[in-house]
Structure 1
């Protein structure tokens, strides 16, 4: 077939689970290059009797995207928007297209696909169709099944047709044509006739019934719509090859009001009145528990400031053709409720930027509740039940009572309250026999509770394995039998995603953890203080949300953005680390720390640390990679680049004894090529030139005759002479000294040879890194004991002091002091400069590349504020990691990925920048990538820009 066929252990391990509690190792993975290639793959599976699982983004919470089957991953290549009919407001798509990408392409038409789950940046339309996805915007649009025209489907046996509403005349024609399609339609018509009255009686008439097959779509009043039947069937009936979708006009203007309440049940009680008085396009509820979790995890700080008084809130958004129309609808609701925008429990906004911040905080709910700091881990299982909106308050009260009955505390509650759907992650005990037994008993009780309210087991995430076994409680035995009849019509051999929805696996088997979970503890170099000192627990931070599979935006995950490979996402790597440590006998990763599959998956991790901040559960793959490399190569010969790049500080120290000679050798084509090959460096790379005079040598001259500043004096600061500043770009250090001295500070610099240890950390030489750490602490001890600020100029080195060193030596008091006393130049000046100090006025536009480690560890707000005060009009492109990422972009085999990362946003932005626009990049890697990226521009450090401003001020 025309595609990528992968039956290797690494691929099987990466696809062994989704975002649920369940794990099943697939037979293999197929990535078709086209829809027709996918058809060919399913034909092969049919001939060999192999089960098939179609997969999009793989974020399912019910276990429907994990199975012992051949996984067809449509997301890498089958992602075309085939056609758009703007007049009819429809389009045709392939199953792998991501929702945000689709809506981006539809934007010029003023149209969009309405349902928008919180995973919109990476969820595929095929997955949305399989799961009947909804999201907050379903308040306006309805569920996915309400937004389709027809689906092109393929059965496991190879029968293929377009399924949609079927008139009596068309049904007669289909039956007359005969064949498998006729057999399916005849059988479906019989099911509709035989079970029609029971379907009308047992299917809840609520906005968010996602559980079970859509048998109601087969009724005459629903136009015998076989397409809608397929939606939400979770790949158990047929494969969706293409879909014709209904589109909606985009909302021109929006306004939002946030209403505060005493608790989440009171907020739920208010929903029916709001729906009676208004027609919002979004109506969401959140409680204070969720907000507290987000505060502890530093999520949505700006959004939290927009919440009015209360301990629970409703977020209500209105749309209109004009801003005035949207505002008026808010005002009308407030008047109907007897409230005003000036009330303490009301916050009104018509600022799209503020509204977006609120939505991002709301969409972070799953991540924020998965690993709440200082609390037990939480799990899905009963995370999306739905009831009639008018009964939501009472349901939540009874649900809270059920939590207390099972000693589960008060989990955070939030969700789509306007449609009666509530999201909850619950602190189940998933690792003991008693805990798993209680998990089962709770779900059985919860199923009875929601059914008593006329609700649905699932209001958004589907059944899969988590709720398939409970469908009889909700629908009764006869309807469940009808589901089986429908399944048999499409898939008589039970080879389409078996064990889900129909004849389901038990809800307490195939657990990712389970009562037999007892992984081997390992002694590691990093101590993982945020994960109980356990590397295993650290790798289990990943709960499968899949934000690392975003197509663009943010820093995480640069390698996935350019390769579109699951193994190259943060999630895929975390899955393989989990499998490596897993006690499961069927794990495809058999050789632990020596695993070549894990090594290869980590090889294209740039160690950018973007996931440390961008991942909702703060997976830190850069640290995990360093730990793995340390363990993997322990007692073994390493790749050449680990010696050449890892030991760069020492080699640079030697080279600085004769920099002109070394530069001449490195620039000689033949010698340079030989040297790069021996050193494991990409031959495409230019070797940066060593400075003729180091920063330390300059400092020795600059400070000659001066007394050493008193470490305890309030004006004393230490500028850290990192290897890159000291030996490659000393002019940056000189500029920083000039700037700090102009602000009234007494600068000093360690005169001993020092290093932060970054290059040894990034290459996994952690024993050496620890020795370097301890030497650095000894040199800095007088200043650390005195509380002297340490100023870092290279973001990656500064980040080592702030995070890597404390994670390796968390109990060392000097490490704690160093982490607390280390500041970026901008942070220090904003915090400690005299009140009457103002930065020099530059008054120029600038294109600014944020170093990925600064983004992840220190943040960039201080730099932006300092630039604002200096009159720099900063444009910060959403470029993510520059792609060089320290040693990564220099290593053999990484050049293409490195440049692809840079070409995605950064390098085109630099080329497009006007001549008068400064290009600012504080990171040595970022500046090097720009210099070597055919931009004809030289990037400068912020210290240089401000120091030049000093000279300009003096000249004036």
Structure 2
């Protein structure tokens, strides 16, 4: 073959018009999967974790590998581009395109086979890394590379981006851990590939088919450009930029699978992967070294590398400051030694002694360096999460400009890292990005890879122009150091245009020819990596971004400058909400955990809200607050508030949902579901029952099957067990009892929330006795008051604000005197600690109420010096209420229970599934039950009968009783059970 027989490079994406309606119909008729061309789905997939936005033609969720193959065939018949997407967390724009998006994550996530002897396995592309490693654990094996997004990234996405993570110090990049790939070309050619010996090559060529043509052209490409590849590819651990043409070199075994790793869906669709596995490291130790600045820490890397750590990470004080501001991982930060920058050096071994010995060898040669040695897995994990929280910690810092990707994973030779960081910071200063302390610098220092987010101005034309100039200069800088534009996250659109700076014209031409070999019509993820769209086009923001504004918001969004658009724009696409298994007591996102739908993740909903504001004028959602697509996506949001804490960017979807519902039904009260009125106005109904003393009659009616069905049908709610009203309210009991106790500790106001007051007054009674025994004088409002929770959660915010205003006025005299307000129901307590301040951020009484509202555990641990709870003993499992997790915290509860001698297990169950009004609303029962069945109900069934079930939330107790039959107790009841009467 002569050189002229190689296809010409693809130079620019072709312009073509696709018959979208015909394409959608053909996909629906021929593909076994979910085919979605609706506005909501297209909006949810309009961006990834990058600065870019392109609305897809449609989305296909294939149920099988063969269904995906058929989807590509249909796309080919219509000339439609194809984008194969994993977890959607890509940081360079490769995960967004105007194409048919194949989302593998919902169905094609099987571990198909394991060969423990060979240390390999075969997986489908949608399997999540943590899920895979959990399944491999019984064989003592795991897949080596582990990005910070390991909870939600898929293997297909990792292969597409050639991912790495901290563990790459030991195991290398993804390309180093692939034995073979099954791939599909756009023209339908399908084959397995991997390293290819001369004999195997001859056998492939003998067939004379399309695969043979590809292999012949690849060998010709290799032979023509081999010298340029060897000369221009940097010899560093973290070269991720560009196609892996080096994998075709003879010294790398003509590895076609290696070539295709990191090609970002621009060459082929990966159908299956045969992975190389590594043994699990049995024991680990962590040495943290402290330095005066990040350059000094980087300079010490070469002293550490000879000790062969399995991970070597760096971080600076700015990252810690950002995390401090956002209250992330505070416990772990206290384990750091003195310093303004740190190296985290991890060692492993079969035994703890082996790992510790290796750690001590390092410490012995660095006696003057401040250090901490940690060999406790829990403390190590906490500290490691400090490093993994980097993206979220640096994205939205209160009081500082937002930061963005763009130059967030460059890599240089480790020995030149310190000098590179010095020059990079000088570049920040030159372009005005340094600010008071400059962008945080952290990353995989052992491999010379640096992570950072920069405060680019992507809101104005001048800012975007400066962003372009900075990236051009940064590309020149890293090339000068013999480095790579990308050391982990790939090129996509952010760096595709800059590849000639790093590789030169000849290798860049080879990239174009490679693209033409596999995809001559440029239908695979066009405009990314090669023949790229300019790095300042298709921006999610940009100088022309002009979102719709709402003048009369109910919530004030004080953390987002009063802007709903900025609130909706908080999501940075990291995808933490797409976790498949709850871990560490996390809550978000219960509906996604049940359905596996992007639209039911916090990220998906945030994308829809962003598109609803139609800032570019070309979005799929054109009816603003009236959008039914947005309403449908938010319908299964449980308003659990888990994302408020668990999301690294602190997206608060519960608040966004309440605001949306208020605006959606504004001036259209007749369009509201009946359940909103039945459940939202529950406090009024409860007070009516109490004032007429008709609880017995109402309970009899609602617990008669036929009457209950009529009642639930009339109210528009699910046909499920209706909680019984108490025969006597807490307020009436307290008024009749009279105030008792000397009150040596002072006075506390016990808030009679609707649920405690009208349904479970025994909790309030237990709390009163407990507090009086602890030396508190308890007072309680006599008049009917409410925090407004049920109106907030149903989006009736006008009523909620009026109700809350009345309550704040009634409590003002007490809080102005400095008095504490005790909340027993977590969701109502969270209104005082969170929602009220976001509805009335400038009201001083609301601010006082926020500061002075406490939980029972907080009152008894933080405000009752010397207090010892009754010796309760025994064992308990705790279902922590979502709002307590997100707003109030549970650390004080844990300490109090330990002081009481109770051995307590906090369930990693996430949301119970009832979530206030959610589980009672029509159409939500299946999701409500499924959420409970994931972890909570099975764990309760495993617990022994003498194990107490602790659940402070009314919803949690209701859900447990209905679906498990056990009576869960509040903390007050659990402790008062051991108190004297």
In the superposition, the TM-score normalised over structure 1's length comes to 0.97
Aligned equivalent of 1:459: 487
Map 1:17-416 to 2 at 5 A: 17-276=47-306, 278-339=307-368, 345-409=370-434, 410-416=438-444
CA apart distance, 1:286 = 0.1
Mapped to 2, the partners of 1:803 and 1:296 lie a distance apart of: 17
Mapped to 2, the partners of 1:397 and 1:942 lie a distance apart of: 54
CA apart distance, 1:781 = 2.0
Which of 568, 574, 580 is matched with 1:539 structurally? Answer: 568
1:647 correspondence with 2:675 = no
SS in structure 1 opposite 2:698? helix
CA apart distance, 1:338 = 3.6
SS in structure 2 opposite 1:847? strand
Aligned equivalent of 1:662: 698
Compared with structure 1, are the counterparts of its residues 834 and 513 closer, same or farther at alpha carbon in structure 2 (3 Å cutoff)?
A: closer
Map 1:778-789 to 2 at 5 A: 778-789=809-820
Mapped to 2, the partners of 1:594 and 1:557 lie a distance apart of: 25
CA offset digits 1:567-626 (Å, max 9, x no partner): 000000000000001321220010000000000000000000000000011100000000
CA offset digits 1:62-109 (Å, max 9, x no partner): 000000000000000000000000000000000000000000000000
Aligned equivalent of 2:940: 910
Aligned equivalent of 1:794: 825
Mapped to 2, the partners of 1:10 and 1:253 lie a distance apart of: 46
- On the 8 A contact 2:412/2:478 being kept in 1, the answer is yes
CA offset digits 1:207-257 (Å, max 9, x no partner): 000000000000111110000011000000000000000000000111110
Greater mean alpha carbon deviation, residues 764-773 or residues 330-339: 330-339
Mapped to 2, the partners of 1:108 and 1:908 lie a distance apart of: 22
CA offset digits 1:293-326 (Å, max 9, x no partner): 0011111111110110110000000111111111
Which of 756, 759, 762 is matched with 2:787 structurally? Answer: 756
Count of residues paired in the alignment: 940
CA apart distance, 1:521 = 2.6
Aligned equivalent of 1:508: 536
CA apart distance, 1:479 = 0.5
Aligned equivalent of 1:671: 707
Mapped to 1, the partners of 2:594 and 2:819 lie a distance apart of: 43
CA apart distance, 1:628 = 0.2
Aligned equivalent of 2:631: 599
Aligned equivalent of 1:423: 451
CA apart distance, 1:680 = 1.3
C-alpha root-mean-square deviation of aligned residues, in Å? 1.1
Mapped to 1, the partners of 2:398 and 2:812 lie a distance apart of: 32
Mapped to 2, the partners of 1:502 and 1:180 lie a distance apart of: 23
Mapped to 2, the partners of 1:814 and 1:549 lie a distance apart of: 38
CA apart distance, 1:779 = 1.5
1:747 correspondence with 2:778 = yes
Aligned equivalent of 2:855: 824
Map 1:856-871 to 2 at 5 A: 856-871=886-901
Gaps of 5+ in 1: none
1:947 correspondence with 2:976 = yes
CA offset digits 1:677-704 (Å, max 9, x no partner): 1111111x10001111111111111117
Mapped to 2, the partners of 1:639 and 1:179 lie a distance apart of: 61
CA apart distance, 1:714 = 5.3
Mapped to 1, the partners of 2:560 and 2:71 lie a distance apart of: 42
SS in structure 1 opposite 2:977? helix
Mapped to 1, the partners of 2:615 and 2:936 lie a distance apart of: 43
Mapped to 1, the partners of 2:749 and 2:256 lie a distance apart of: 71
Aligned equivalent of 1:680: 716
CA apart distance, 1:834 = 4.6
CA offset digits 1:441-494 (Å, max 9, x no partner): 000000000001110000000000000000000001110110111111111111
Mapped to 1, the partners of 2:117 and 2:429 lie a distance apart of: 54
Aligned equivalent of 1:723: 754
Aligned equivalent of 1:938: 967
CA apart distance, 1:125 = 0.1
CA offset digits 1:373-429 (Å, max 9, x no partner): 211100000000000101111111111111111011121000000000000100001
- On the 8 A contact 1:293/1:373 being kept in 2, the answer is no
SS in structure 1 opposite 2:979? helix
CA apart distance, 1:434 = 0.9
Which of 524, 544, 550 is matched with 1:496 structurally? Answer: 524
Mapped to 1, the partners of 2:811 and 2:355 lie a distance apart of: 59
Mapped to 1, the partners of 2:860 and 2:301 lie a distance apart of: 49
CA offset digits 1:543-563 (Å, max 9, x no partner): 000000011111010100010
Mapped to 2, the partners of 1:450 and 1:534 lie a distance apart of: 38
Mapped to 2, the partners of 1:119 and 1:203 lie a distance apart of: 28
- On the 8 A contact 1:883/1:901 being kept in 2, the answer is yes
1:620 correspondence with 2:645 = no
SS in structure 1 opposite 2:722? coil
Mapped to 2, the partners of 1:919 and 1:335 lie a distance apart of: 50
CA apart distance, 1:41 = 0.6
Aligned equivalent of 2:603: 571
Mapped to 2, the partners of 1:699 and 1:110 lie a distance apart of: 60
- On the 8 A contact 1:846/1:875 being kept in 2, the answer is yes
Aligned equivalent of 2:16: none
Aligned equivalent of 1:471: 499
- On the 8 A contact 1:148/1:246 being kept in 2, the answer is yes
- On the 8 A contact 2:745/2:775 being kept in 1, the answer is no
SS in structure 2 opposite 1:645? helix
Aligned equivalent of 1:590: 622
Mapped to 2, the partners of 1:910 and 1:274 lie a distance apart of: 48
CA offset digits 1:874-911 (Å, max 9, x no partner): 01110111000000001110000001110111111111
- On the 8 A contact 2:745/2:777 being kept in 1, the answer is no
Map 1:2-13 to 2 at 5 A: 2-13=32-43
Mapped to 1, the partners of 2:363 and 2:845 lie a distance apart of: 56
Mapped to 1, the partners of 2:454 and 2:625 lie a distance apart of: 33
Runs of 4+ that moved beyond 3 A: none
In the superposition, the TM-score normalised over structure 2's length comes to 0.95
Aligned equivalent of 1:703: 738
Mapped to 2, the partners of 1:948 and 1:182 lie a distance apart of: 78
SS in structure 2 opposite 1:92? strand
CA apart distance, 1:945 = 1.2
- On the 8 A contact 2:289/2:342 being kept in 1, the answer is yes
SS in structure 2 opposite 1:421? coil
SS in structure 2 opposite 1:313? strand
CA apart distance, 1:290 = 0.2
Mapped to 2, the partners of 1:813 and 1:426 lie a distance apart of: 36
SS in structure 2 opposite 1:65? coil
Mapped to 1, the partners of 2:510 and 2:160 lie a distance apart of: 19
Gaps of 5+ in 2: 1-30
